[in-house]
Amino acid sequence: MPKNPQRPTQIKLPRKPSPWMVLLAIVIGLTIVSSALAPNQNQQKTEEIPISTLLQNFQEGKYAKIEIRGEEITATPLDDKSTKQVSIKTSSDSAADLGLYSSPATEVVNISTEKQTFWLSLLGDILPFVIIVGIIVFLMSRMSKNSGGPFSFGQSKAKTFDRRKKKTKFSDVAGAQEAKEDLEEVVDFLKNPKKYTKMGAKIPRGVLLVGSPGTGKTLLARAVAGEANVPFMSISGSEFVEMFVGVGASRVRDLFNKAKKAAPSIIFIDEIDAVGRQRGGGGMSGGHDEREQTLNQILTEMDGFENNTNVIVMAATNRPDVLDKALLRPGRFDRRVVLDSPDMKARKEILEVHSKNKPLSKKVDLEQISKITVGFSGADLENLMNEAAILVAKENRKTITQEDISKSVEKVTLGRERKSIAMTPEARQKTAYHETGHAMMAYLLPHTDTVHKLSIISRGMALGVTWTMPEEDRYSISKDKFLDDICMLLGGYAAEEIIYGQHETGVSDDLKQATRKARSMATRYGMAPELGPVSFADTEDHAGYESFGVKNISEEYAQKIDEFVQKTTEDCLKKTIDTLQKHKKLLLEIGKKLLEVETLNKEEFEAFFPKKKKVVKKKETKTTSPKKKN
């Protein structure tokens, strides 16, 4: 391709008038209207007469009122319908010299001795209008200061990235190999559109990036623009909608017009679910609100591209289930690119990318870090390396060690240590046995995650923590794992019951998580024999809106679900108590040691168990199904 490809001819639009010229025109117009209307208000015709005639009429009592303004004397006849009479006196004559004084028949008023200038009178007429217009302009400019001026509500707020600056490439995106392969075709479309049009293929109109927060959707969109070397216009879905009706639709039109003029180009709409939710909202919103007008305009623009317009719309969301079906049909967002949380290999690559400009010790093993960061997104891993660098800089050291990164993993996962909290000896003892109960159940049951650390040092909102992590990436969860996880969550509850005969409020979060897992088994995964292979998850939420009193499930099924949740948690608690009662001596021994040292790592904890009786964890079967949040 030539280095300087010919750009399409730019259409010169008529120059828009300056906002201040518009303001000046408004002020002048209001002044003319005010001047035209002012003389019509209670004005009588005047007749100029000699001063001698005016004095004679005054002596005869023909006036009701006489007003003296400087050298001008205005007399109002007794008859209000008669013409006013005006005379001019000399500057040296006063009212007393002329014999003008108040009487029962005539009122003499000396209004002013200075003559008001024309400009002062004009200022008094237009000043209120200037103040009002100034306030309006100030408010409009404050509300639209990022739009280019006080009269640019309908202009797009999209940011266009400068292609002369450093570009993002696919090489800057670690992991997400399948997603990059899908987007490489889009890049080829933008670089060589004729290659596809000759074969009768149509350039895709839209690409929807779907993934959990932090998986790199925005980064991939910028990489596409960098690889294709085309203008990249980025905007958030929430930036379309304003308090004024019609502004969102106007901004959509302006954005697409700019993209067409700069074609080939890319429009990137982040968090498109802000404007792309299903219309109607389950009865919660009307059919003509601002958000729906904006969505309708997006649909029209995407389906109204000319055949020779090389513009691709990319959008990102982590809630594809709430998007309007019209957005997802062929001809609009033709492709859907899914970004999952990275696997162990991808996590190592991401860690290598984010450690390039950081002084790592030669002994740092990023592969080991990738093994203990299962479930971390790309953004989580970036934050992890940043926290390690902050820790080293705070301690005035020059290299980041393996221990620094491990501490950062704990800080990101569990929260910062709060050693300042002073617990009573009794509270520390109960916390030690509580955490030991969790850890022992995690070790003794075959389907639970591996214990990495247990501690009675307060972190976040918890008085103590038991940190378990899976040894490998997991893509599906069995019923046995659900039940073992519930037993592990109830380990603290059971340990307190065994040793103290009662439990305290610290078990509340454990009970909440255990109940949630049991309910998910019944309502989402069909693991309740009493209910059969039925899922109730789709009735819990409609297009992102709560159902506000709508009855989603019958009372009969609701009772069966409650009975299943109660029976499951009770059975798991009985199993947990029996298991810990069987190993009560070991429970007391580990709890006493934890009380002394405050923290036990994986090796120190597993040393309490006989090697020949060590439980071998059963690995979950990997499937090709998408990852699910539980």
Catalytic residue ranges? 435
Residue 166 contacts by C-beta under 8 Å, 6 or more apart in sequence? none
Amino acid at residue number 52? S
Cβ burial of 307 (10 Å; 0-12, 13-18, 19+) is: exposed
Distance of alpha carbon 520 from alpha carbon 515, whole angstroms:
9
Report which DSSP code applies to 460.
T
From residue 158, give the alpha-carbon distance in Å to each of 86, 228, 259.
Answer: 68, 19, 10
Largest CA distance in the chain: 136
3-class state of residue 545 by DSSP = strand
Cβ atoms of 523 and 608 within 8 Å: the answer is: no
Distance of alpha carbon 157 from alpha carbon 135, whole angstroms:
24
DSSP string computed for 568-610? HHHHHHHHHHHHHHHTHHHHHHHHHHHHHHSEEEHHHHHTTS-
Cβ atoms of 613 and 446 within 8 Å: the answer is: no
Cβ atoms of 322 and 543 within 8 Å: the answer is: yes
Please give the radius of gyration of the chain, using alpha carbons only, rounded to the nearest integer: 40
From residue 338, give the alpha-carbon distance in Å to each of 182, 235, 326.
Answer: 10, 21, 19
Strand (E) or helix (H) holding 295: helix 290-303
Sequence-ordered strand ranges (E) for 374-469 = 450-455, 465-469
Strand (E) or helix (H) holding 206: strand 206-211
Report which DSSP code applies to 316.
E
Spatial CA neighbour of 205 closest among 337, 313, 327: 313
Residue-level length of the chain: 630
Distance of alpha carbon 384 from alpha carbon 448, whole angstroms:
25
Residue 141 contacts by C-beta under 8 Å, 6 or more apart in sequence? 149, 150
Q: According to DSSP H, which parts of 144-288 are helical?
A: 177-191, 193-197, 217-228, 247-261
3-class state of residue 315 by DSSP = strand
Cβ burial of 407 (10 Å; 0-12, 13-18, 19+) is: middle
Report which DSSP code applies to 147.
T
Spatial CA neighbour of 440 closest among 490, 396, 483: 490
